[in-house]
């Protein structure tokens, strides 16, 4: 654009557009539109704090006038946003202006969201909806505005665009965005490779036993219960970052539940079925194979919630089959469910109950998409930009391959879980729930427990993981690690990455903040701390078994990782 252009008339027209945009922004935050975006019914009309609204509108108009006055000389704010960090954005006037305008609109919309006068849940839903819209509308997502994608197209003489279209067609066929080069991985070949065998199976799960790596093992075997919303091999990605292999190398006779990926034949399965016929069956089977009165157990995420239910059932039956339990990023007290709380209310849960409470499947891809859009810029739109606009093939990454390997859930199981835990938080109420014919009372679960939470976890907030210390009555140890839901857990000591927090005085005050006030930050992984704790509950050392299972009833059915984990949703 010619720098001598008279901007007066254009500025007047732009001011008119800005006024209209402001009105549309206010309309977007009204509950009718919000309800459509969130698939929730509308509530009473929203109101805004008048002082905040007036200040925000004044600032918006001033910033807009300044932006228009700068024209194509406008520069984006230095916010550290990786989407616009490349030099190409600053060197392309149109792209730079589009980012500056986008940042202006983003500030205004988030300011509007903060100005809403409503209860905290409504405000959280509004913020979530606005953040989703802003993530989708970023200039980086459009070829016409993405300076880096345009530069790559010129440099490759259009080949990047052709490759991007091919990537898009490939992902449409497979039904999800490629986060990694999935052709580089195969379960059992270069992920989930710890040596072992399937020693038991039923329609819900296979039980894997791993080959000892030490001449002696602890007499109490060790059972891992991973979440059934994911494949178990997040615990066994590569030899160097495998928690399963690490446990085996520490001398634990290790067993793992490998969940079947439900199809229509399991669409009627309930929460009770998974506790009785899976978790409790796995506990009893490990006892029989090892010939011991007690075992040690670990539950990860939803697997931890299931383990807590199973322990309460055992307690109600007067059985003490489990000597100690470990809970990794687990919700037992659902009072704080983090960002997922924006989805949960009576109407949402009732809808799910109507759809699948009596039968049906919660599709794994739907679950995976939900979790991805909790972090849209990192897990959705950056792959749209790289794969489709720039025509790049994502690099191989074992964790993201696992993340794309989705699993279904039986509808009755899922609907019951939503209502009784996420919505009504009934697990912490003594006698409020009946599971497998038993009234659950966690005050009777008096075994020692190790509780781990991740500081940046957006699925199970660290404070929510810590809340288990106030519910379980036995001797407890709480440790907090750095990073998020997965990366915080999968953090082998050899990597010497991140850090963790411990409190050696053993005090467990009511809140995480109070606990942290007396905690010490230590470099590196929490795994060694956990291994020392687990060894204290594992009993004496005995000769390692020479074969898998226990004849004649529990034989080597097939090599690990088994058939179930290879089933696709």
Residues 6 or more apart in contact with residue 486 via CB below 8 angstroms? 234, 399
Two structure tokens written together for 468 = 């288990």
pLDDT tens profile 223-247: 999 999 999 999 999 999 999 999 9
pLDDT tens profile 395-410: 999 999 999 999 999 9
pLDDT band at 38; cut points 50, 70, 90: very low
Residues 6 or more apart in contact with residue 155 via CB below 8 angstroms? none
Identify the CATH homologous superfamily for domain 196-339+408-566. Answer: Alpha/Beta hydrolase fold, catalytic domain (3.40.50.1820)
- Which span out of 106-120, 394-408, 527-541 was modeled with the highest average pLDDT? 527-541
What pLDDT was estimated at residue 6? 41
Region 384-402 average pLDDT = 94
Round to whole Å and give the CA distance between 300 and 490: 11
Higher pLDDT, 465 or 32: 465
Two structure tokens written together for 171 = 């992902």
Two structure tokens written together for 116 = 């809403």
Higher pLDDT, 61 or 331: 331
Assign 541 to helix, strand or coil: strand
Higher pLDDT, 504 or 23: 504
What pLDDT was estimated at residue 119? 87
Q: Write down the catalytic residue from 228, 301, 436, 531.
A: 301
Q: Where are the domains of the chain?
A: 8-155, 196-339+408-566
In the predicted model, is pLDDT for residue 32 greater than 80? no
Write the DSSP string, 55-115: HHHHHHHHHHHHHHHHGGG--------GGG-SHHHHH-HHHHHHHHHHHHHHHHHHHHHHH
Q: Which of 337, 350, 277, 254 is nearest to 301 (CA)?
A: 337
Assign 352 to helix, strand or coil: helix
Region 78-95 average pLDDT = 85
In the predicted model, is pLDDT for residue 61 greater than 80? yes
What pLDDT was estimated at residue 121? 87
What pLDDT was estimated at residue 333? 98
What pLDDT was estimated at residue 69? 80
What pLDDT was estimated at residue 113? 87
Query: What mean pLDDT value characterizes the chain?
Result: 90
Ranking 315-319, 362-366, 470-474, 511-515 by mean pLDDT, the lowest is 362-366
What pLDDT was estimated at residue 23? 55
Catalytic, 301? Answer yes
pTM over 0.95: no
In the predicted model, is pLDDT for residue 287 greater than 50? yes
């Amino acid at each position: 654009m010619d720098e001598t252009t008279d901007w007066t008339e254009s500025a007047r027209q732009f001011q008119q557009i800005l006024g209209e945009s402001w009105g549309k922004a206010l309309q977007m935050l009204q509950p009718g539109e919000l309800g459509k975006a969130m698939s929730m019914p509308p509530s009473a009309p929203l109101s805004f704090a008048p002082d905040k609204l007036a200040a925000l509108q004044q600032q918006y108009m001033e910033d807009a006038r300044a932006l228009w006055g700068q024209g194509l000389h406008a520069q984006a704010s230095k916010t550290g946003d990786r989407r616009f960090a490349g030099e190409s954005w600053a060197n392309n006037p149109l792209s730079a202006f589009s980012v500056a305008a986008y940042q202006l609109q983003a500030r205004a919309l988030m300011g509007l969201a903060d100005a809403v006068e409503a209860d905290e849940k409504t405000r959280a839903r509004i913020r979530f909806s606005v953040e989703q819209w802003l993530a989708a509308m970023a200039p980086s997502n459009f070829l016409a505005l993405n300076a880096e994608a345009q530069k790559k197209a010129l440099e490759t003489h259009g080949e990047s665009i052709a490759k991007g279209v091919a990537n898009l067609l490939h992902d449409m066929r497979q039904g999800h965005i490629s986060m990694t080069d999935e052709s580089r991985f195969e379960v059992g070949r270069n992920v989930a490779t710890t040596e072992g065998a399937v020693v038991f199976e039923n329609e819900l799960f296979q039980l894997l036993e791993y080959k000892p790596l030490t001449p002696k093992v602890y007499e109490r075997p060790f059972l891992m219960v991973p979440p059934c919303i994911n494949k178990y091999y997040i615990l066994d990605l590569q030899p160097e970052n495998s928690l399963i292999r690490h446990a085996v190398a520490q001398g634990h006779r290790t067993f793992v539940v490998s969940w079947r990926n439900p199809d229509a034949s399991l669409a009627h399965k309930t929460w009770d079925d998974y506790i009785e016929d899976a978790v409790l069956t796995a506990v009893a089977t490990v006892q029989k194979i090892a010939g011991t009165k007690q075992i040690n157990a670990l539950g990860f995420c939803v697997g931890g919630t299931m383990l807590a239910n199973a322990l309460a059932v055992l307690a109600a039956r007067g059985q003490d089959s489990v000597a100690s339990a470990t809970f990794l990023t687990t919700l037992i007290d659902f009072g704080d469910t983090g960002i997922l709380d924006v989805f949960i209310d009576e109407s949402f849960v009732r809808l799910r109950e109507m759809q699948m409470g009596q039968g049906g499947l919660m599709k794994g891809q739907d679950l995976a998409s939900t979790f991805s859009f909790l972090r849209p810029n990192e897990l959705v739109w950056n792959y749209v930009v790289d794969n489709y606009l720039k025509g790049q093939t994502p690099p191989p990454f074992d964790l993201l391959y696992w993340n794309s390997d989705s699993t279904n859930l039986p509808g009755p199981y899922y609907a019951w879980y939503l209502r009784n835990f996420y919505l009504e938080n009934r697990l912490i109420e003594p006698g409020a729930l009946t599971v497998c014919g038993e009234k659950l009372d966690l005050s009777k679960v008096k075994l020692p427990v190790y509780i781990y939470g991740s500081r940046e976890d957006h699925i199970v907030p660290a404070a929510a993981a810590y809340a288990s210390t106030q519910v379980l009555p036995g001797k407890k140890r709480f440790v907090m690690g750095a990073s998020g839901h997965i990366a915080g857990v999968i953090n082998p000591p050899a990597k010497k990455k991140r850090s963790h927090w411990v409190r050696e005085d053993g005090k467990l005050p009511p809140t995480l903040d109070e606990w942290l006030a007396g905690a010490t930050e230590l470099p590196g992984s929490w795994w060694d701390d956990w291994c020392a704790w687990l060894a204290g509950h594992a009993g004496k050392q005995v000769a390692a078994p020479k074969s898998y299972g226990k004849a004649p009833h529990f034989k080597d059915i097939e090599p690990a990782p088994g058939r179930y984990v290879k089933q696709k949703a």
